A and B are shown apart, each in its own frame.
Chain A
Amino acid sequence: MIDFVNQYLIPALVLGCIYSLGAIGISMIFAILRFAHFAHGDLMAMGAYLGLFLVGIIDLLPLDGLSVNAKVLIALPFSFVATAAAAILIDRLFYKPFRKSKTIILVIASFGIALMLRSLIQLFFGADVLNYSTGIRFPLEMFKPLRVQERYVYIVVVTLALMFALHFMLTRTRTGKAMRAMSDDADLARVSGINTEKVVMWTWIIGGGLAAVAGTFLAMDTRLVPTMGWDLLLPTFAAAILGGLGRPYGAIAGGMIIGAMEELSTFPWIGDGPLISPDYKTAVAFAVMVLMLVFRPQGLFGGRVL
């Protein structure tokens, strides 16, 4: 039992947090800008690599005794802001000219942006696998017999904090209310005097910033590879679709479900071997996504279908 928790449930929760953070952005962009943002995975990768760059800078500072995890956490707000700024810039240069075109043109453009971002990462950081830190990492003493790594605590706590902040923003601030109004009905929002371009900008700030956090956490938990964006893209799409597009809370639930499905599908539920070979772990998310699209495109909790 304790093995099940240690080897399956805890990693599922961590992965779920990562997917949720990415899926919130995809879901909101879909609702407000009305297109599937194919560059979102590479935005996450960009955030992760910015984190690596910043950790490198922090290393140059005369600070002693900081753990790698602490350095990554210090870097996080900066890479949040930088990635959000990059997202706004990309929107201005490459998406804004198509606001009135068919959405599919935006999808094609974002597909191109995805590869441009990836090639920039490869240009500056090379194509090899990188890490924030190397060496063996021991689980924390205080949670025994549960095996909880230090980074798991950071990932879960920061994710929860960001989700509360998002909730506060969407329900209590003017901008948040405008965002919800625009995602429900863009035309109605416009005629009632909402500055739609400002809402779009905030969508990119939230989507881009959370993407940076998601990418950084995945890199913290595993490693950095230039293709990580592409690998992240489909599970986060799956999470956003599962939760219902345009529903940030649904995206969180969807992320948790997809994370759990990927991790738990390899548990030996029937017989001795894993239910699904780890080789096909990621295919579980893709299959769920395709089935959802076909049979329940509004998601589990009733999002919008465009």
Chain B
Amino acid sequence: MELFGLFMYLLGFLAVALIYAIGCLGVNINWGFTGLFNVGVAGFFAVGAYSTAIVTSPPSPVHLGGFDLPIPVGLVAAIVFAGAVAWVVGRICLRLRSDYLAIATVGIAEILRLVFRNFESLGGGPFGVQRVPRPFESLPQPWSEIGFIVVLAVILLLLYVLIQRAWSAPWGRVLRAIRDNEEAAAAAGKNVEAFRLQAFVLGSAIMGLFGGLFALYTKTITPNAIEPLMVTFLPWVMLIVGGSGNNKGAILGAVAIWALWTMTEILTGLLPSDWASRAAFIRVFLIGLLLQIVLQRFPGGLLPEKPPIIRAPDEKHPDRA
């Protein structure tokens, strides 16, 4: 029984870690690939989470929908709506310099949070959207959890392969060029604005998917779940610790930080209860400190970025370039 509980705990850990890994890949496309400092992850997460929840949950008298549609439709909706919002935001804000972009995206994320909190006929107000379905939830334990984890793993693998392909493709090369030297990229005839917008929309759409999957996992979404600490800061720390610019690093960082987060939770859980509630704050402090240490001592993260090797034309067989 004890072992079974531990097993279930591990499954829960794995599910959340995989969801964070997906969000982290989105942040990596923005920051790691293109150098866009998007601190509005919470905003796109919220759009995605509410889209999935409204599309897939059964009809409700309070909020919009629910439309009771299949889960894949809900996830596509998360990607599409988060991407659409990002397109509008990007058109307006991407011309801003890095710090300004950070401030603007935080502001937009906060506006979105206010809208979801207060606009009851859209998102159900403070109670949010309930009764969101989860894939395989009708299966007995632990198979329902395992089924969901398989779904998450497949999505993550698919995304990883696609994004890794994009990374070594000319498209990814242009993004890195823009990140490292915008003027040079522009001088080489690249349409800097268009590429930045593409990267911003793609990354934000994945953050939307991150939100959608989170809504499926918790089977609900409320305004309180859109906490900038958990959905903006944590993915950022994961990416920087894992190694920004490296997709494997993004995934490794997500798993490592989430492991650290949950393990400290177990430790603080062993403390007497009034200490335990306080000790939870030490955890945030330590994660912040870890970020500072990584930034100062290991700026590349656990798996630093490795630019793909670009093969020079073969001298003996020039036609085989």
| A289: interface (CB < 8 Å) | yes
Q: Give which listed residue, B39, B100, B278, B292, contacts A126 with CB less than 8 A.
A: B278
Residues of A within 8 A of B114 (CB): 279-280, 282-283
| A113: interface (CB < 8 Å) | yes
Residue pair B295, A105 in contact (C-beta under 8 Å): yes
Residues of B within 8 A of A77 (CB): none
Residues of A within 8 A of B236 (CB): 108, 111
Residues of A within 8 A of B289 (CB): 112, 116
Residue pair A113, B288 in contact (C-beta under 8 Å): yes
Using a CB-CB cutoff of 8 Å, which residues 82-130 of chain B contact chain A?
92-93, 95-100, 102-104, 106-108, 110-111, 114-115, 117-118
Residues of A within 8 A of B97 (CB): 305-306
Q: Complex formed: what's the CA distance from A290 to B118 in Å?
A: 21
Residue pair A108, B288 in contact (C-beta under 8 Å): no
**A283 CB, nearest partner CB in chain B, Å:** 5
Q: Complex formed: what's the CA distance from A126 to B279 in Å?
A: 10
Residue pair B103, A293 in contact (C-beta under 8 Å): yes
**B178 CB, nearest partner CB in chain A, Å:** 14
**A275 CB, nearest partner CB in chain B, Å:** 15
Q: Mark A280-300, 1 if CB is under 8 A from B, else 0.
A: 101100110110011001000
Residue of B nearest to A230 (CB): B228
Q: Complex formed: what's the CA distance from A280 to B111 in Å?
A: 8
Residues of A within 8 A of B292 (CB): 93-94, 109, 112-113
B-side binding surface: helix, strand, loop or mixed? helix
Q: Complex formed: what's the CA distance from A115 to B240 in Å?
A: 16
| A122: interface (CB < 8 Å) | yes
Residues of B within 8 A of A306 (CB): 97, 99
Q: Complex formed: what's the CA distance from A109 to B293 in Å?
A: 10
| B202: interface (CB < 8 Å) | no
Residue pair B95, A294 in contact (C-beta under 8 Å): yes
Residue pair A104, B37 in contact (C-beta under 8 Å): yes
Q: Mark B232-249, 1 if CB is under 8 A from A, else 0.
A: 010011001000000000
Q: Complex formed: what's the CA distance from A120 to B110 in Å?
A: 23
Residue pair A234, B99 in contact (C-beta under 8 Å): no
Residues of A within 8 A of B157 (CB): none
Residues of B within 8 A of A109 (CB): 291-292, 295
Residue pair A115, B233 in contact (C-beta under 8 Å): yes
| B273: interface (CB < 8 Å) | no
Residue pair B104, A120 in contact (C-beta under 8 Å): no
Using a CB-CB cutoff of 8 Å, which residues 118-169 of chain A contact chain B?
118-120, 122-123, 126-127
| B69: interface (CB < 8 Å) | no
| B141: interface (CB < 8 Å) | no
**A244 CB, nearest partner CB in chain B, Å:** 13
Q: Complex formed: what's the CA distance from A283 to B116 in Å?
A: 12
**B290 CB, nearest partner CB in chain A, Å:** 9
Residue pair A112, B110 in contact (C-beta under 8 Å): no
Residues of A within 8 A of B96 (CB): 293-294, 297
| B155: interface (CB < 8 Å) | no
**A85 CB, nearest partner CB in chain B, Å:** 19
**B36 CB, nearest partner CB in chain A, Å:** 10
Residues of B within 8 A of A126 (CB): 278
Residue of B nearest to A295 (CB): B92
| B166: interface (CB < 8 Å) | no
Residues of A within 8 A of B171 (CB): none
| A252: interface (CB < 8 Å) | no
Q: Complex formed: what's the CA distance from A94 to B290 in Å?
A: 12
A-side binding surface: helix, strand, loop or mixed? helix
Q: Complex formed: what's the CA distance from A30 to B115 in Å?
A: 30
Using a CB-CB cutoff of 8 Å, which residues 228-252 of chain A contact chain B?
230, 234, 237-238, 241
Residue pair B285, A103 in contact (C-beta under 8 Å): no
Q: Give which listed residue, A38, A119, A280, A286, contacts B285 with CB less than 8 A.
A: A119
| B284: interface (CB < 8 Å) | yes
Residue pair B288, A294 in contact (C-beta under 8 Å): no
Known: A111-B236, A279-B118, A282-B114. A290 touches B108 (CB 8 A): yes
| B281: interface (CB < 8 Å) | yes
Residues of B within 8 A of A287 (CB): 107, 111
Residue of A nearest to B297 (CB): A97
**A284 CB, nearest partner CB in chain B, Å:** 10
Known: A119-B284, A119-B288, A234-B107. A293 touches B102 (CB 8 A): no
Q: Complex formed: what's the CA distance from A286 to B113 in Å?
A: 12
Residue pair A277, B106 in contact (C-beta under 8 Å): no
| B229: interface (CB < 8 Å) | yes
Residue of B nearest to A286 (CB): B107
**B273 CB, nearest partner CB in chain A, Å:** 13
**A251 CB, nearest partner CB in chain B, Å:** 15
Can you list 25 pairs linking A and B with CB atoms under 8 Å apart?
Answer: A30-B99, A36-B99, A36-B100, A36-B103, A103-B99, A104-B98, A107-B37, A107-B102, A108-B295, A115-B233, A116-B284, A119-B283, A119-B288, A122-B281, A122-B284, A123-B278, A123-B281, A127-B277, A230-B228, A234-B103, A237-B103, A283-B114, A290-B93, A290-B108, A293-B93
**Which 10 pairs from chain A and chain B are nearest by CB?**
A116-B288, A119-B284, A286-B107, A279-B118, A36-B99, A122-B281, A119-B285, A119-B281, A112-B291, A112-B288
Listed in ascending order, the chain A residues whose CB lies under 8 Å from chain B are 30, 35-36, 38, 93-94, 97-98, 102-105, 107-109, 111-113, 115-116, 118-120, 122-123, 126-127, 230, 234, 237-238, 241, 277, 279-280, 282-283, 286-287, 289-290, 293-294, 297, 305-306
Listed in ascending order, the chain B residues whose CB lies under 8 Å from chain A are 35, 37, 39, 92-93, 95-100, 102-104, 106-108, 110-111, 114-115, 117-118, 228-229, 233, 236-237, 240, 277-278, 281-285, 287-289, 291-292, 295-296, 299
